Structure formats: C-alpha cells, structure tokens
Amino acid sequence: MTSETTNLPSSEHIRRAPKVLLHDHLDGGLRPGTIVDLARETGYDGLPETDPAKLGVWFREAADSGSLERYLETFAHTCAVMQTRAALVRVAAECAEDLAADGVVYAEVRYAPEQHLEGGLSLEEVVEAVNEGFREGERRARADGNRIRVGALLTAMRHAARALEIAELANRYRDSGVIGFDIAGAEAGFPPTRHLDAFEYLKRENNHFTIHAGEAFGLPSIWQALQWCGADRLGHGVRIIDDIEVADDGSVTLGRLASYVRDKRIPLEMCPTSNLQTGAAASYAEHPIGLLRRLQFRLTVNTDNRLMSGTDMSREFEHLVKTFRYTLDDLQWFTVNAMKSAFIPFDERLAMINDVIKPGYAELRAEWLFR
C-alpha cells in the first residue's frame, strides 16, 4: 500500500464524516420495501417487481438503461404510491432516517406537491404531511444517536403551468419547514423564463430558490436561470464546463458566464452518479467536478435520486476519493461549501459549520493521525 493510498479516507471515515445534502428528490429516494408495502396498501398493481431486492435492481437498471422513457417510468411508480397522507409521512420520515444514518447532518429535500394530488389531497395537505414526516424522521434519528435537520424545497414542474401557485405555497409555509423553491423536469423546450412570474414573486418576497439548469441542456439554460430569473443556486450546472477552454498546455480560460458563476460564488449542486446516468458525463474521471474543483468554483456534492442511482452521500464521496484522490480536507471543503449555500439563516449555517462540521472532521483527522 502506497503512502498516497494511506492518506485517503477509508470507507468508514467517509461514512462517519458529517455531510450536507442540498439536492435530493423525495420521490427518488424511497426504500424498495416501502414501495412494495405502499403499493399493496393502496392497491397499486403497476410495479414491475414485487420483491424488494429485485425491485431495487429494476430501478437502477432502468435509470442506467440510457432510455429517457425508462428513466421517467421509475418516477411514475414512486409517485403512484405517494398519494395518501400516511404514505407521504412514511416516505418523508424514512428519508430523514436514511440520510441521518449516512452521516448527513443537514439536508434540503425537494418534491413537487402537484404530483401527489391523485388521492384527493390538497396542496396544503401534501406539504403538511411531508413536513410531519421529516419531523418524525428527525426524532427517530435522534433516538438512534444521529443528528439531522431537514428542510423542504417545493418544486414546480417545468412542463406544467403551476409554478406561481407552488411558489406562493412555498412562501406560505416558509416558517413551517419549507425553505425554498425549485423547478424541475425536462430543460429542452421548457426554459426557466417560462416561469418568470414565479421567480419575480419570490424575489419580491425575499425568498430563496434554486433552478435545475445546465444538466441536459447547455449554457443558455444556465444564463437564463441566473440573469433572467435570479437563481440563488444551480441544480446540477455541469454544462458550465462548456464555457471553459483547456489548452493543450493545460492553461485554462473561462468564458464570461463561467467567470460570472465563479466570481459570484454561485453554488453548483453537483450530482456525479446521476450525471453519468443522464449522459451529462461519460465517467467519474471525466465529470466536470474535477476541473471545477481545481478552479475553485462553489461546488457541492449531492445524490439527486438515491433509489434510481443506488447511491447515498457516502458512495458519492467514495467515488470522488477513488477517482480524484480527494482527502478529508477536500470532503470538508465540499461540505462547508454546501452549508454556506443552504437556505437557512446565516447564524444557523455558521453554527452548523463551527459546531458540527469542522469538529466532526477534526475528530476523523485525529483518528487518522493516531491510527
């Protein structure tokens, strides 16, 4: 074993390291067993598999298939079993538990209330059920010796016409567990400016929002999200790499948009494994996160859809450690970046950094020094 290898954090250290997660979809992180249970309880008979282990494999294979139709089909199944109050409470509680067990100390989990109305719930009832589930999950995590704080981001679907309504909903619940807003769905053909009224409303209300941009579509999506809509963060944002030129001698030139994103410290919600599945990157080694890290962009590491990607924050960090030889210092850098970029008040972010994140990494470094 080389000295370089021994300097890298072990899987155990990565699992125990405090983590911050900003980009995670509630309907993309269900436990396979829960999907089977809820399908049975609600009478949903559309699942491709009823054995939890086989169902988990099916979700990952569908997401890896390269077929957009199969990828979207996975969400049809998860949303189908999330149409009752009890189901939403259970899914949200288990989400918080699972994240806490993985060492996540702060998470912002997003979902689209408009996708959970088929069982007769109102938008308000959906939000209140999910909030209740997150609080229950936080309590269970504490009972297990884990600490986590979970906030909700309400998402509007790009192809629909309810963005302003969902933005107003997010604003009404901003002091009751909802900390921001997002739009998601196919970028091509559905630019963020289509929902400009929602973003203008949120800015007038001094509220926070992120926008899925620069994942499957390129620089125009990022430019609109920032310069027209005023996004606080970019969901994915990997295509900012298209505005960066690397010469044969290794010198790097940033275009005006890339320079703006870096200079303004606009957070990028990177989701490496998900980006491989959707074709935004061909491999971990070729993922833009490596170059963007060297260039000191405000990067964060995220899971996107834990079920479909068969991932969690520890696995995402492990991939980066193996690929880019990242150390505990690098993982702390990503984590502090994420906490700085969270949609909670400054003093609370600072307390999380100084009282939870930095001490947690210091403890792991001390163990490494005296191993």
- Where is the binding site for substrate, in residues? 25, 27, 185
Catalytic residue status for 286: no
The answer to whether 264 touches 232, Cβ cutoff 8 Å, is no
The answer to whether 4 touches 358, Cβ cutoff 8 Å, is no
3 state DSSP class of 265: coil
178-184 and 149-157 strand pairing: parallel
> What does the buried/exposed string (b/e) look like for 321-340 if buried means 16 or more CB atoms within 10 Å of the residue's CB?
bebbebebebbbbbbbbbbb
> Does an H or E element contain 210, and which?
strand 210-213
> Does an H or E element contain 299, and which?
strand 299-301
3 state DSSP class of 23: strand
Residues making up the annotated binding site for Zn(2+) are 23, 25, 212, 304
Cα 210 from Cα 222, distance rounded (Å): 11
The residue among 206, 217, 212 whose CA lies nearest residue 163 is 212
Phi, psi of 146 (to 5 degrees): -110, 150
Residue type, 26: L
Q: 26: Cβ–Cβ under 8 A, 6 or more apart, which residues? A: 82, 91, 92, 95, 109, 110, 111, 130
Vertex 80 angle, CA 197 and 313, to 5°: 75
- The helix/strand count (H/E) of the chain reads as 18, 10
Residues making up the annotated binding site are 23, 25, 27, 185, 212, 304
Query: Of 94, 97, 215, 269, which is the active-site residue?
Result: 215
> Can you give 152-192 as a three-state secondary structure string?
EEEEEECCCCCHHHHHHHHHHCCCCCEEEEEEECCCCCCCH
Residue type, 10: S
Cα 23 from Cα 171, distance rounded (Å): 20
Which residue numbers are catalytic? 215
